[in-house]
């Protein structure tokens, strides 16, 4: 297969066209012209591909919208020794991700229009993925003074969050919600009550007690979330809870949706693929925020994905260098890399029979795009030509030394998985080609 020129039309033939948003699952072809889907369907190219059109033979593999990762830390500007936009884009392309939304906890913080514009410009220059920024909800992520949300949205911010920090002050949060509601902006919260989570490092329970580590109780997540939902009811803001990890949070979101509140949420693969036992003997690569929970919480997360209570799955990509992770557990940084493992771990839910294919893939395409108001995540005429070709049955083993990401902090190293992106296409350009 050859990389097509971005200015020319590209024909994808012999594909299994799969669109989670529209319910399409059929053999056929797809045409991208001028960076967008021009036509698709079972009869397309029945008489052959016209002369002068680049051709990609999909060999019966699943051709779907490119993945939309709605939560990742890219570390640029400020901490490029851990990751930068180029290496993150390479990792995203290898993982079938065509759109990344990055958190504002950079240096400087994304709380001014100039930094928003810098992120957008760098993403365009690299050209391997669409990179879109969240902006800070409060100046400097300090939780004290509101950022200029209207100006930041006009500059290109797709939502507002204090990233890995909860907006803990209820008065500040209410003002942020009211401001965001005025402009119909999305507010994203890290739902963890700081006074209950600090200085904890892992899930509170028997294992933490045995290891002598301070624990973070599940109620730290639920208490803050329940408070926020009351404020959502008061203000009417579009509210999104990030990386929920507990059964209580799933139930709270489910009840809020039943009451008709404008609430959405996501989780990340560690919370359905691992439990607190992964910490083992102080394994810092399994230290996350929120922490890995018990199996009851893990099963509740899986059930929440299956029934649609959990709208989306994000990578929660948090790259750290070895110096940040190879420390005593309580001192080590929280988070793991996730761009290149997002798709196979989501497909693990399918292969295990826990979540239908359409629901699982919607959680990484149409659902996050819809939450963020993005024109992507679907196979339809006029949609962006951002595509991923997936061999959903291919067995392989995760190997961190092959990651394109600069950092390698993953607890999934050596894990056998099934399914991977073999071609990633951005606006009709092939930006990654995996092993055949």
The DSSP line for 160-171 is EE-TTS----HH
Same domain membership, residue 220 and residue 95: yes
301 and 415 inside one domain: no
Q: How many CB atoms lie within 10 A of CB 161?
A: 29
Question: What CATH number does the domain containing 272 carry?
Answer: 3.20.20.140
Both 291 and 269 in one domain: the answer is yes
CATH of the domain at 35: 2.30.40.10
Domain assignment present for residue 408? The answer is yes
**Inter-residue contact 168 to 143 (CB < 8 Å):** yes
Say which residues have a Cβ less than 8 Å from residue 312's Cβ, sequence separation at least 6.
70, 264, 265, 266, 363, 364, 367, 368, 371
Which H helix or E strand runs over 130?
A: strand 130-133
**C-alpha span between 135 and 133 (Å, rounded):** 6
Same domain, 99 and 53: no
Q: Could you give the angle at the alpha carbon of 267 between the alpha carbons of 265 and 273, nearest 5°?
A: 160
Report yes or no on 379 lying in a domain. no
The residue annotated as part of the active site, out of 111, 316, 386, 391, is 316
**136 in a domain, yes or no?**
yes
- Provide the 10 A C-beta neighbour count for residue 54: 18
323 and 255 in a common domain = yes
**Does residue 141 sit in the same domain as residue 284?**
yes
Q: Evaluate whether residue 162 is within a structural domain.
A: yes
**Domain of 179, in residue numbers:** 65-372
Q: Is the residue at 199 inside a domain?
A: yes
Residue 308, in any domain of the structure: yes
CA torsion sign for 58, 63, 65, 66 is negative
Same domain for 330 and 424, yes or no, is: no
d(CA 140, CA 45): 54
Residue 234 lies inside a defined structural domain of this protein: yes
Q: Are residues 294 and 394 in the same domain?
A: no
Residue 316 annotated as catalytic = yes
Six-digit token pair at 69?
């990762």
What is the rounded CA–CA span in Å between residue 238 and residue 261? 8
**347 and 290, same domain (yes or no):** yes
Segment 291-295 long-range contacts (CB within 8 Å, at least 24 positions apart): 291/200, 291/201, 291/202, 291/203, 291/216, 291/245, 291/334, 292/202, 292/203, 292/245, 293/203, 293/218, 293/245, 293/246, 294/203, 294/205
The verdict on 399 and 257 lying in the same domain is: no
Indicate if 38 and 73 belong to the same structural domain.
no
Residues 411 and 328 in one domain: no
- Count of beta carbons in the 10 Å neighbourhood of residue 352: 10
Tens of pLDDT along the chain (436 residues) come to 344 444 579 999 999 999 999 999 999 999 999 999 999 999 999 888 988 899 999 999 999 999 999 999 999 999 999 999 999 999 999 999 999 999 999 999 999 999 999 999 999 999 999 999 999 999 999 999 999 999 999 999 999 999 999 999 999 999 999 999 999 999 999 999 999 998 888 999 999 999 999 999 999 999 999 999 999 999 999 999 999 999 999 999 999 999 999 999 999 999 999 999 999 999 999 999 999 999 999 999 999 999 999 999 999 999 999 999 999 999 999 999 999 999 999 999 999 999 999 999 999 999 999 999 999 999 999 999 999 999 999 999 999 999 999 999 999 999 999 999 999 999 999 999 987 6
- The answer as to whether 347 is a domain residue is yes
Number of structural domains the chain divides into: 2
Query: What is the reported pTM?
Result: 0.96
């Amino acid at each position: 297969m050859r990389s097509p020129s971005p200015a020319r039309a590209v024909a994808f033939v012999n594909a299994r066209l799969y669109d989670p948003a529209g319910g399409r699952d059929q053999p056929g072809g797809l045409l991208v012209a001028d960076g967008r889907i021009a036509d698709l369907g079972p009869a397309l190219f029945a008489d052959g591909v016209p002369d002068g059109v680049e051709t990609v033979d999909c060999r019966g593999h699943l051709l779907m919208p490119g993945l939309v990762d709605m939560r990742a830390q890219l570390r640029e500007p400020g901490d490029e020794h851990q990751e930068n936009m180029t290496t993150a884009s390479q990792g995203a392309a290898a993982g079938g991700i065509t759109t990344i939304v990055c958190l504002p906890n950079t240096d400087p913080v994304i709380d001014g229009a100039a930094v928003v514009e810098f992120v957008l410009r760098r993403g365009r220059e690299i050209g391997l993925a669409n990179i879109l920024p969240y902006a800070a909800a409060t100046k400097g992520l300090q939780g004290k003074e509101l950022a200029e949300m209207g100006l930041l949205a006009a500059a290109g911010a797709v939502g507002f969050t204090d990233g890995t920090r909860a907006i803990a002050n209820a008065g500040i949060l209410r003002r942020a919600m009211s401001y965001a509601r005025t402009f119909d902006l999305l507010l994203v919260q890290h739902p963890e009550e700081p006074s209950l989570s600090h200085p904890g490092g892992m899930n509170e329970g028997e294992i933490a007690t045995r290891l002598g580590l301070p624990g973070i109780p599940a109620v730290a997540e639920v208490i803050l979330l329940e408070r926020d939902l009351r404020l959502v009811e008061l203000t009417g803001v579009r509210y999104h809870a990030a990386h929920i990890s507990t059964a209580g949070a799933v139930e709270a979101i489910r009840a809020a949706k039943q009451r008709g509140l404008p609430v959405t949420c996501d989780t990340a693969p560690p919370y359905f693929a691992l439990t607190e036992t992964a910490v083992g003997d102080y394994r810092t690569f399994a230290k996350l925020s929120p922490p890995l929970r018990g199996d009851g919480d893990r099963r509740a997360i899986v059930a929440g994905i299956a029934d649609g209570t959990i709208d989306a799955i994000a990578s929660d990509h948090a790259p750290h260098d070895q110096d940040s992770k190879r420390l005593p557990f309580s001192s080590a940084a929280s988070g793991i890399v996730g761009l290149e493992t997002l798709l196979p771990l989501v497909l693990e839910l399918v292969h295990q029979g826990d979540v239908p294919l359409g629901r699982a893939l919607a959680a990484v395409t149409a659902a996050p795009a819809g939450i963020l108001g993005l024109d992507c995540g679907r196979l339809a005429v006029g949609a962006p030509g951002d595509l991923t070709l997936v061999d959903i049955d291919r067995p392989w083993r995760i190997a961190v030394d092959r990651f394109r990401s600069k950092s390698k902090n993953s607890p999934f190293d050596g894990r056998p998985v099934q399914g991977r992106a073999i071609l990633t296409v951005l606006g009709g350009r092939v930006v990654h080609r995996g092993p055949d």
